[in-house]
Structure formats: structure tokens, C-alpha cells
Copies of this chain bind each other. A is one copy, B any other.
Amino acid sequence: MSYTAPIRDMQFVLRELAGLEQVAKLPGYEEATPDVVDAILEEAGKFAGEVLAPLNYSGDQQGAMWKDGEVTMPAGFKEAYRQFVDNGWNAIGAEPEYGGQGMPKLVVAAVNEMWKASNMAFSLCPLLTTGAIEALVLTGTDEQKAKYLPKMIQGTWTGTMNLTEPQAGSDLALVRTRAVPQGDGTYKIFGQKIFITYGEHDMTDNIIHLVLARTPDAPEGVKGISLFVVPKFLVSEDGSLGARNDVRCVSIEHKLGIHASPTAVLAYGDHGGAIGYLVGKENEGLKYMFIMMNAARFAVGLEGVAIAERAYQQALAYAKERLQGRDLGDGSGPVPIIRHPDIRRMLMLMKSQAEATRALAYVVAAAHDAAFRHPDADERKRNQAFVDLMIPVVKGWSTETGIDIASLGIQIHGGMGFIEETGAAQHLRDARITTIYEGTTGIQANDLIGRKIAREGGATIKAVIGLMRQVDAQLAQQGGPDFAAIHRSLSQGIQALGEAVDHVVKNFSADIKSVHVGAVPFLKLFGIVAGGWQMARAALVAQKKLAAGEGDAAFYRTKITTARFYADHVLAQAPSLAYTVVNGAAGALQLAEEQF
């Protein structure tokens, strides 16, 4: 159950596909030189492999423990978190103005993948802190920033996001938590929030909650939600901790996975009101949450990549070691099960899809950096449109794929995969939340076809399809059966995607329910084709290197084979998905509810 950060693969994607060199030329990212990035990856890989990975299984088995409002983390987590903070890992992506290292999102993505792969439950703590930091950076007052940001960026205090209530899951219009102004600029917060990741724990001496609530005269629905900062302990002018605030952890959930990540029910104001401070403007809380949510959605998408990588490493090790059955060709045996064609097929499914989801996620991270820092406004805008389009795909497709891959990891282990001590089952249990939190796959898909495609008549996605066609044209110029196969599947995939886009754009307004039946199949289609686009780019880079006699030939040949496998086994699904997008509505909408 060890984890070795796939640094060579990461470097390949960073440099050859996502354009690290270009990112490092953006103003403000000049420190992200190849040497610095290599050093960061190596150190992060060590920390992930040596400190976090060994706590993954034990953390799952022990779980976070609730007693009398306090949460005790599993053995080793507190110490690991202290080291994480001491080594500066919490700060690498944050604003230099408040003590962060300001590394580009592209580099942070690779590092974060390592935390998620080595110990997903642990990684959720800095993930949520990062979200809270972003909200304060964007909308906090100078005083709020000075008070909270340095310690949150360092990691001395952690942060949370409090959206969900029992009656208000994905539908924030139903939020009922109240914020009553006290006349002194503060508010008193009353209400119950559920599903609060790291809402309580014993790794730091303060927790900064960001809470959605309604002021007394707020409009109904999502237009009446405001954002408040509610520290667990109030913070004095001098930065020292003051009184305990009126927010208590009532319980933590008994979950399928991520047992070491405490999922808290938080009660605000049971003893007179929790003191909260407005963040930004009243009634604009939802807007701020959406900004944070994009980052969080990208981060959850990376969890899909990370679990896929971890599950693959474990299944591969088992497949090379486990002796069972005879070689189908020469009859020798017992042989390691990796010799059996179906085990190879499953390993290649894991490997190729882990690589495809990673490539797409990193490419989107690089675009995010350009959208933030590029000197040219048009370039920023173009990149931002790409990021906005792709976030739901990175989130939805990578996580759905991550679950499939974790499940394949169990399958490769056979009966041992079902035994908890093997550790393969934990990956599936942990992965299973990723298609749900920060917006289900259905919500991502609705966002994709509605706000990201139909609203602009498909302009951005059509431009992306244009980029795909350029790559496909390059494929057509290569020789040999591998490139022929990749080209065949990619052209069919692009064709299928184009038809599906036309269908969505043409029918969205007139027949909104029908188009929404195809939303998730559309998201999967787009993900698969976009992944195929990146795999094709990887194969073309590899071919160029091989032709030039540069670098590690075995490594580059592997890239071409993996792209070919992906084309034949994954990208080949595109036409069927497009068929469902275009034709699938009637069967889904026809039944009356009582006919189910």
C-alpha cells in the first residue's frame, strides 16, 4: 500500500502538454523555474510517500472520533499536519502578500495530486482551508485579511466552508441559517450546518468557519444569502485567541469512506449566538461561494486523478507479484497475473485513464494561470473561458473515472480485493464521495450544457473542437498502425462531440428537459474526447522525441501505446454516448411518476 509520486509522468505533462515553460514566463510566476519545480516535486513526493501514505490505511481503520463536542484525529495525523505546516506546504499556492509562495496553479496541481493520492482524507483539510483563504482574499476587508490570512496560509489555523443544511443540499435557495446584526458591525449566527469537512478536529488551535446565512430582511432564495466568517475562537487585536465562540460540533458522520476526514454537524448559536463578521457585501454570499467553488471543483477533480493513480500503483504491484494460472501462449505457469490478457486490459484502463484525466486537469490548471497572469487581456479572457468550460468536465469526468478505476483495482486483486486489509477497497470507498460533493456529476453536467455551452451558443467549445481537429490533422500525417488507430478514434470522437454540441445548442431553449436528460452522457463524452485529445498530443510529442532520438525511448514508446489503448478502449465509446445525448430523452421523460 505504498505510494510513489509519479514524478516522471507529472513532469512530462507539466512540460510537454501543459506548457510549464510558458507559465513560468507569466509575470509573477518567474520563480517557477524547472529546477525549482523539480525540487518541489521531489520533496513533495517524499513527504507524500513517507509521511502521508503510511497513515492512509490506519486513518481509515481508526477514523476520526467524536466525543462531547471534540474530535480526535486518528493516530499520527496531528503530527503529520504539524510537519506539513512546518515544511511550508500549506502556503505554496497562496498569495505572497500574506506569506504564501505564490506558485502557479499548474505546479500546485501536481503537488496537490500527491497529497490526495497518498492520503485523501488528510488532504481535505488543506483543501478546505484553501477555499476559505480564497474567499477572504477576494472579498475580505483589510482588517479581516490581516487577522486571518497569515495564519490560515501558514496552516496554523484551518478553514471550512459551511453551505449545506439538512433541507438544503445542492439547493442553496433553501438555506435557513440566520444572521442577526448586533448594531456594532457584528452579527449573531443561529442555525445548523451539516457535511462540514474538518468542521472540528484537534490538529490546530483555531478553525475559521465561512458560513452562508440570511440577514433578517434578506430576499428569499439565493439572492438573500450572505457570507460570514465565524472563528471557533474569537481573535483579539493582537492576534491572540479570545473567547470560545458559540459554534459546537454536535456529531460527525459515519461514512462509506474518507473516515479520517471528520464530516461535522455544526450547531451555531445554541447558547446565545455565534459571533460572525460579514464578508463582502450582504446578499452576495452565493456569488462568493461560486468563486470558491470553481477552485474546489477543480481540486475534487484532481482527487479523481489521484485515487486512480494510487489504485493503479497498488493493482500493478499485485499483478506483478501474484502467481495464478498459466500463460495462454506457451502454457508455462503459474505466472504473475499481469500475463493474463484481461488483467493487462484492466491495468491499461487504469493507467491510460489516470494519464488522460491528469493531462486534462494540468492543461486546465495552466490555462487558469494564464487567465490570471497573462499580460494580454484577450489571452486572459480566452483562457478564462476555457477554464470555465472545462471545470465541470475535470470535476465530473475525472471523478466518475476515478471511481471506475478504483473498482478495477479491487477486481484485479480478486478475492483479496474484497478484504479490507488489502487496502484496495478503501480507494473505492474514498473515491465514491468525489462525484457527489462540491456538486454532483449531474450538477456539473447541467452547468456545462447550460451556463458553459448553450448560453454562449457553444462558442468556446467549438473553439476547443477546432484545437482538437488540429491535433487530429497531425495524427493523420504519422505512419504506422498505432497512429492510424488513434486518428480513427479521435476523428470519430470529435465528430460525435460536434454532433452532440449542435444538438445541445439547437434544442436547449426549446426543449430544456430533453436536453438535460443527455447532460451527464454529454459530460462523459466531452471528457473522453478531451482526454483523447491530450493523449494524442502526448503520442505526438513522444513520436517527435523518438524521431529525434532524444530522451528515454522506452518511456516515449509507452506513451504511444497507452494513447492507442485509450483510443481503442475508451475513446471508442464516444459515438455511443453521442447517440444517447441526441436520442435519449423520450425514454427518460415519458413515464408518469406513478409508473416508476
Contact = CB atoms under 8 A, between A and B. Distances in A.
B565 A587 contact: yes
Contact of A576 (B446, B554, B575, B596): B575
Contacts of A416: 169
A290 interface: no
B587 A485 contact: yes
A499 to B, nearest CB: 14
A257 interface: yes
Contacts of A435: 411
Contact of A419 (B254, B446, B590): B254
B343 A442 contact: yes
Contacts of A469: none
Interface residues of A, number: 101
Given A256-B420, A342-B517, A517-B342, A324 B171 contact: yes
Contact of A342 (B195, B418, B442, B512): B442
A373 to B, nearest CB: 35
A15 interface: no
A421 interface: yes
A432 B425 contact: yes
A586 interface: yes
A545 interface: no
B344 A589 contact: yes
Interface in A512-560: 512-514, 516-517, 519-521, 554, 557-558
A388 interface: no
Given A415-B436, A418-B257, A516 B341 contact: yes
A419 B253 contact: yes
Copies of this protein chain in the complex: 2
B436 A432 contact: no
B170 A324 contact: yes
A40 to B, nearest CB: 26
A546 to B, nearest CB: 14
A410 interface: yes
Contacts of A554: 592, 594-595
Interface in A400-434: 403, 407, 410-411, 414-421, 425, 428-429, 432-433
A583 interface: yes
A297 interface: no
A567 interface: yes
A324 to B, nearest CB: 4
Contact of A414 (B420, B440, B564, B567): B440
A380 B21 CA distance: 71
Contacts of A19: none
Contacts of A516: 328, 340-342
Given A334-B171, A403-B407, A580-B568, A591 B512 contact: no
A574 B562 CA distance: 23
Interface stretch (A68-76, A113-121, A133-141, A345-353): A345-353
A280 interface: no
Nearest to A566: B587
Contact of A587 (B520, B557, B567, B579): B567
A26 B348 CA distance: 49
A65 to B, nearest CB: 16
15 contacts: A169-B414, A173-B334, A195-B415, A340-B516, A341-B513, A342-B519, A344-B588, A345-B588, A348-B588, A415-B436, A482-B587, A554-B592, A565-B587, A568-B579, A575-B575
